[in-house]
Every structure is written in structure tokens, then in C-alpha cells.
Amino acid sequence: MPELPEVETIRRGLQKAIVGRSIAGVEVRVPKLFHGEKNSIIGKKVLNVDRRAKQIIVNLEGPDDLLVHLKMTGQLIYRELRIKNCELRIGKQTAGGHPSKDWFDELPNATTHIIFDFSDGSKLFFNDLRKFGWIKIVNSEELKVNSDLGPEPFSEEFTAKKLAEIIASKPKWNIKKILTDQSLISGIGNIYADESLFYAKILPTRVGSMIKYDEVLRLHTSIIKALNIGLKYGGSSENTYVQIDGSRGKAQEHFQVYSREGQKCFGCDNIVKKIRLNGRGTHFCEGCQK
């Protein structure tokens, strides 16, 4: 699912959309995806929206917060009053009758499993095709304590020196596994690991102990670069990811290697290769990455 840039894009959207609004009701259509007593958050106002790794934290009045994990195919889509939904439908039809991939026809749809109603009539839809994602009611204090998560790539804590320590702690792991392990670094998933390693000119199969310090420096810069590109274009929508207004991100148009198997590398004359590493599709260029 969404990785850091996608989740952060959603967070920013939610921050603008729902802060200050009060939860008037929660409709749970698929109980296994919602953990907690929903009545305990009814009437509560949204104070803030945070992100930790690939999770979204909806900070509420009172002791409880909402924790959301979108996993592979989760979506959070916010809609204002129904009149606006009608306008969207009309707009799509007058556009020529072709269903635009940028907008959902109607909400809720078959993948909508949880719906939050706000007191002003607006709604937040939690959709998830594969039902891997979930929403939990969590105590804010407990949330701060029990995190097995590594540093955030955009935090001051995440220095090149810190990255070197992380890599040194797993000398036998391949570098891609190190990058995607959430307990070591937060927020990097399959796409941005491949992209970061391309920018850093490091093969994903290289083992921690074999990464030289100047490569660590490059990798540090490259992680930030890859994630920033994702953020700049509103996340990548190769699959089901959408922003909170239902529109798709455009970061996939800027990928260097991810999903570019068989195509020419942008940096040399080689063809982008794809292998299976740590059980995941892994893309790289043998010409550029060593």
C-alpha cells in the first residue's frame, strides 16, 4: 500500500479537511477492520492529524485517538455535502461519458467498509479492496510508548551517521531488506526502496557489511530525494491509491526503475531488470547500480 509519500499526502489532505469537525456517527460495515468501541469517539472533535511511518493518527478530543493503517489497498476519501457528490457525477457525465479514473462514481461503494459522519454532514470513507487495512481506537499515551518503529526519514534524527549505524546493525541483510524494515527506518516500502537504491547507484542485493561509507552518504541523500519526488507529485497511483478527494497521484510518472522492467534505463543504455528479492518484485539497472 501506500508508503510514506502516499500516507503523508493523505495526512495533509485530512489535516485541511477534518480538523475541527466533530464525529457524529461511525458506520462499521466490516467489523473485523475496526478495533475498539466506536461509541467512545462519537461527539469528539478532531484536533489534529499526524503520521507515524505508514500509519495515520487522527488526534481526537479526550484520551482516545484513531490509528489507521491502509496496508496495500486502503483509501481514505473525504466528501462534503451530498450536493457536491451530485455535482461531481454531473461533471463526469458531461465530460463525455467515459468514467474518469480520477473520481469515484459513488460513495459508499463495494469496497467501503467504514464510514465516519461529521456533524456538518460531511463524510470520511474508508475503502479497502483487499481488506488488509484497519482502523483502531487507541489510547494516545499508549501510542507514544509502544512503537517499534525506526526513525522517520525526514526527521533530524535520521542523519547519514544514523543510517550507517542502521546498516552496520544488519551486516548480513541485503540493503533493500534493511530499507524496508519498519523497525529500522519508517515509511519506506517496495517502490521507494527500489527508487532510492537507483538514485544511490547501489544494487538492492548488496549486503549491509559491503556498503561503503560514501555509498551510505549517497543512499541517505537518495532516500530523501525519492521520497520527496513521491510527495511532490501527490504519491504514486499505480494501483488503488488515491488522495482524499479521490484523485490519483502522479509520482509513478517519475519512477526511474519501479514498474519499468524491460524498458530502457534513463541513466544509461541498459534495460531495467526485475528480480524477486525478499519475496518482493525488485527493480534495478545493472548499468547504473553497482
Partner DNA sequence: CTATCTGTTCTGAC
Partner DNA sequence: TGTCAGAACAGATA
**Contact residue for DNA among 29, 84, 130, 161 (CB under 7 A):** 130
Q: Say whether residue 6 binds DNA (CB under 7 A).
A: yes
Separation of alpha carbons 132 and 88, rounded Å: 29
Q: Are 68 and 56 in contact (CB under 8 A)?
A: yes
CA atoms within 13 A on the CB side of 104: 23
Cell 517499534 locates to 148
Q: Are 76 and 6 in contact (CB under 8 A)?
A: no
Letters for 213-242 (x = contact with DNA by CB under 7 A, - = none) are ----------------------xxxxxxx-
Cell 521507494 locates to 192
- Cβ-based nearer residue to DNA, 40 or 239: 239
Q: Which of left, alpha, beta for 165 (phi over 0: left; psi -120 to 50: alpha)?
A: alpha
Instruction: Give the contacts of 265 (CB within 8 A, at least 6 positions apart).
Output: 256, 257, 271, 272, 285, 287, 288
Q: Could you confirm whether 171 is annotated as catalytic? A: no
Q: Which residue is catalytic, options 52, 54, 79, 123?
A: 54
- Cβ-based nearer residue to DNA, 43 or 208: 208
Q: Say whether residue 175 binds DNA (CB under 7 A).
A: no
Least Cβ distance, residue 70 to DNA (angstroms): 8
Q: Which residue is catalytic, options 2, 5, 108, 204?
A: 2
Letters for 33-72 (x = contact with DNA by CB under 7 A, - = none) are --------------------xx--------------x-xx
- Among candidates 26, 70, 17, 67, which has minimal Cα distance to 44? 26
**By three-state DSSP, how is residue 207 classified?**
strand
Binders of DNA among 73-92, rule CB under 7 A? 73
Binding part of the chain for DNA, among 14-22, 89-97, 116-124, 275-283 by CB under 7 A, reads 275-283
Q: Are 118 and 21 in contact (CB under 8 A)?
A: yes
Q: Say whether residue 154 binds DNA (CB under 7 A).
A: no
Residues with a catalytic annotation lie at 2-3, 54, 280
Footprint on this chain of DNA (rule: CB under 7 A): 1-3, 6, 32, 53-54, 69, 71-73, 110, 129-132, 172-173, 180, 182, 189-191, 235-241, 249, 276, 278-281
